[in-house]
A and B are shown apart, each in its own frame.
Chain A
Amino acid sequence: MATKRFSLPDPQAAVTDELLMKHIERGSRVIDLGCGDGRLLQRLRDEHGCSVQGVELDLDQLLACVGRGVPVLRADLDRRLDEIPNDAFDYAVLSQTLQQLRHPTKILTEVVRVAKRALVVVPNFGHWRVRHQVMWHGRAPVTSELPYEWYNTPNLHFMSMTDFRDLAERLNIEIVRELPIIGRFAYERAWLANLRAESLLYLLERKDVAS
């Protein structure tokens, strides 16, 4: 497999966690949808005094949460999360998960329902290297760090920054902030962001809340 192929950021990258922590106020009530082993929530609890709740489908990951003392619900994000009440949280986190779900529109509606604000991190398939790869090598964008090919990658959907904006508009979701993540940093504004950002961090609200 070509090692030069474009890599998606590791969903559990410390960089992403740092960025998310910066955007969550101390003492907030936070739910992480697709929380993995719960390390972000553990840090939010221990370092930011947050009250935390995880949601995870994988049983081993879920047990890791229990081992960290992070409360967690087993749920499939592709189904409705009826057991989570409206506005039960200050922040909902959906980090590098959206592209892996079968129904991105459903979960986006849910993240802004269960929390007043949502922090969503998505990969940007508008990145120049993805375009380059498709254009010049005729290869689909897959992760080279992980043992996936196009036929078994967990990433089901490929969207760019522009695509995400369109979807938010359609779902009546306000993009409060849009931070392109380039390398280790998130920028308030970046030149040619849709070409340069590997990922994007969005701060979202329901339009009825935002107005």
Chain B
Amino acid sequence: MTDEETPFDPDQSVGFVETQFATLFEPPNELVLESGAKLGPVTVAYETYGELSPEKDNAIFICHALTGDAHVAGWHDSKDRKPGWWEDFVGPGKGLDTNRYFVICANVLAGCKGTTGPMSIDPATGKPYAMAFPFITVGDMVAVHAELVRYLGVERLLAVVGGSLGGMQVLDWVARYPEQMRAAVCLASAAKLSAQGIAFNVVGRRAILSDPKFKNGEYYGEPEGPRYGLALARMVAHITYLSEVSFEDKFGRKLQQGDRFQYDLEKETEFQVGSYLHYQGKRFVERFDANSYLCLTHAMDYFDLAESYGSLEEALGRTDARFLLSSYTSDWLFPSSQSQELVSALLNRQRNVTYVELESSKGHDAFLLEIDPLQKMITPFLEQTRAAD
């Protein structure tokens, strides 16, 4: 979620990669959504790294977070400003070691990075779905990923890995297809979003919906979409990904220019922290779609694992997969207490669970940034999982 520059080093990276596309759920075998609506065909954008073993026992699926995409690692071309979003964690010799594992990641349903979403053309009308795109849930995203895994010839994944909204997908996957994985890795996540978390999403959506250029979502033919609303949504959300300490460490009260106040009521980027948030908002608009943002944040708000399956025990107790959970001390969006609820439910059902609360000042984003402890945990965890019967 945070922009971090990583220099290109082909030996330490999966190198150049290409996004691939699969068409699934072609009529008459449409995807039946949790709402009961049918959707099909569904295009899925995905990337894979490493080789599938002859036994097909080394596949790992990564579920990306709210605004992520299928491009986890490597570069699309030499002009890319940045590599994939989890470059430090996925690659040869890294936490998810592509010399040993076949790693898959796909853009989520309702996303805007190649998988069918509100920007896609509705075959019924020949125009983008926009607001006509059906309401989707975390479970619907998982249903599409699970089908993609089968399409790639993998019956059982070694692990499903995800953080934040990706972690919610992991939890739902375990409940929905309990036999499809041998391990579930759920980082900085929860069985439901807290009221505080929903509150920030509410503000973000308000910003988009009240932008005059939103036009009820029918802005695709327009020269400009609701970029101010979407940028503002991102600025608000970005605050929730950091912590008080990380703001202090990164910016303090430092000013953007000089060391004197400008006494200009309209100046928005006087403080460095303001300039940073504006920059984050601006970059986000270049790469994300407002309708998609509405769909995905709704899916996140509606996600409630216990509600969907009766209880957390019911949801998590039906798999034999091993669990690896992590939380971060300064993460107030997905606090440790929410991971501990998952641990309780897993212990109640005598599941195999490893849970680690890691010290970090980096807030929710820690799961993307604190790579070293994560790598140290996941490497032996995956080895042990693969070695077990």
Interface residues of A (CB under 8 A from B): 29, 51, 53, 59, 62-63, 65-69, 71-75, 82-85, 88
- Name A82's closest neighbour in chain B (CB-CB): B340
- Are A74 and B357 neighbours in the complex by a CB distance under 8 Å? yes
Q: Is the CB of A63 within 8 A of B355?
A: no
Q: Are A88 and B348 in contact (CB under 8 A)?
A: yes
A84 to B345, CA, bound (A): 9
Q: Which of A29, A62, A69 contacts B356 (CB 8 A)?
A: A62
Nearest CB in chain B: distance from A198 CB, A: 34
Give me the 7 closest cross-chain CB pairs, A-B, nearest first: A69-B384, A83-B340, A67-B380, A83-B343, A74-B356, A66-B380, A73-B355
- Name the A residues within 8 Å of B343 (CB-CB): 73, 83-84
B380 near A83 with CB under 8 A, answer no
Report if B200 contacts A (CB, 8 A).
Answer: no
Is B347 engaged at the interface, CB distance under 8 Å to the other chain?
yes
CA gap between A20 and B381 in the complex, in Å: 27
User: With an 8 A cutoff between CB atoms, is B2 at the interface?
Assistant: no
B353 touches A73 (CB 8 A): yes
Q: A69-B388, A83-B341 are in contact. List 4 more A-B contacts (CB 8 A).
A: A68-B384, A73-B353, A83-B340, A83-B343
Neighbouring A residues of B23 by C-beta, 8 Å:
none
Contact, CB under 8 Å: B347 / A85: yes
Q: How far is the CA of A73 from the CA of B357 in the complex (A)?
A: 9
The one of A59, A67, A83 that contacts B344, using a Cβ cutoff of 8 Å: A83
- Nearest chain A CB to B57's CB is how many angstroms away? 17
Is residue B350 within 8 Å, beta carbon to beta carbon, of the partner chain? yes
Are B387 and A69 in contact, with the CB atoms below 8 A?
A: yes
Whether B250 sits at the interface, judged by CB under 8 Å, is no
List residues of chain B with CB within 8 A of the CB of A62. 356
Kindly list chain A residues whose C-beta atoms are within 8 Å of the C-beta of B347: 53, 83-85, 88
| Docked complex Cα distance between A84 and B355 (Å) | 12
Q: Are B354 and A73 in contact (CB under 8 A)?
A: yes
Do the beta carbons of A74 and B355 come within 8 Å of each other?
Answer: yes
In the complex, which range does the number of interface residues on chain B fall in?
Answer: 20 to 34
Residues of B within 8 A of A84 (CB): 343-344, 347
Residues of B within 8 A of A51 (CB): 350
A102 to B350: give the CA distance in the assembly, Å: 30
CB distance from B310 to the nearest CB of A (A): 17
A203–B49 Cα distance when bound, in Å, is: 52
Closest approach, in angstroms, between the C-beta of A52 and any C-beta of chain B?
9
18 contacts between A and B (CB under 8 A): A53-B347, A59-B356, A59-B373, A63-B380, A65-B354, A66-B380, A69-B384, A71-B322, A72-B354, A73-B356, A74-B355, A75-B357, A82-B340, A83-B344, A83-B347, A84-B343, A84-B347, A85-B347
With A71-B322, A84-B347, A85-B348 in contact, is A63–B377 under 8 Å at CB? Answer: yes
What 1/0 flags go to B378-389 for Cβ under 8 Å of A?
A: 001100100110
Chain B: CB-nearest residue to A54? B354
Q: How far is the CB of B263 from chain A (nearest CB, A)?
A: 49
Note all chain B residues with C-beta closer than 8 A to A73: 343, 353-356
Mask, B304-325, CB within 8 Å of A = 1, is 0000000000000000001000
Q: Give the docked Cα–Cα distance between A51 and B355 (Å).
A: 17
Tell me the chain B residues, 154-196 only, with Cβ under 8 Å from chain A: none
Kindly state the separation between the CA atoms of A66 and B380 in the bound complex, as whole angstroms: 6
> For chain B residues 355-389, which have a beta carbon within 8 Å of chain A?
355-358, 373, 376-377, 380-381, 384, 387-388
CA distance A209 to B373 in the complex (A): 41
Closest to A55 in B: B355
Q: How far is the CA of A65 from the CA of B355 in the complex (A)?
A: 12
Closest to A29 in B: B350
| Contact A66 B350, CB 8 Å, known A83-B340, A83-B344 | no
For the complex, what is the distance from the CA of A51 to the CA of B346, rounded to whole Å?
13
| Chain A residues, Cβ within 8 Å of B376 | 63
Q: Judging by beta carbons under 8 Å apart, are A67 and B348 in contact?
A: no
Chain A: minimal CB distance from B345 (Å): 9
When the two chains form their complex, are residues B381 and A66 in contact, meaning their CB atoms are under 8 A apart? yes
Interface presence of B352 (CB below 8 A): yes
Taking each of A62, A82, A83, which has the highest tally of chain B beta carbons within 10 Å of its own beta carbon? A83
| Distance between Cα atoms of A207 and B353 in the complex (Å) | 30
Report the Cα distance A13→B373, complex, angstroms: 29
A66 to chain B, nearest CB (A): 5
Nearest chain A residue, comparing its CB with the CB of B359 = A59
Check B377–A66 contact: CB distance below 8 A. Answer: yes
Q: Find out whether the CB atom of B340 lies under 8 angstroms from the CB atom of A67.
A: no
Residues of B within 8 A of A82 (CB): 340, 344
For B336, the closest partner residue in chain A by CB is A83
In whole angstroms, how far apart are the Cα atoms of A74 and B358 in the complex? 9
Give the CA-CA distance A83 to B344 in the complex, in Å. 5
| A71:B353 contact, CB within 8 angstroms | yes
Nearest CB of chain B from residue A14's CB, rounded to whole Å: 23
Q: Which residues of A lie under 8 Å from residue B373 when comparing CB positions?
A: 59
List the B residue with the shortest CB-CB distance to A51.
B350
Q: Using Cβ atoms and an 8 Å threshold, which residues of chain A touch B352?
A: 71
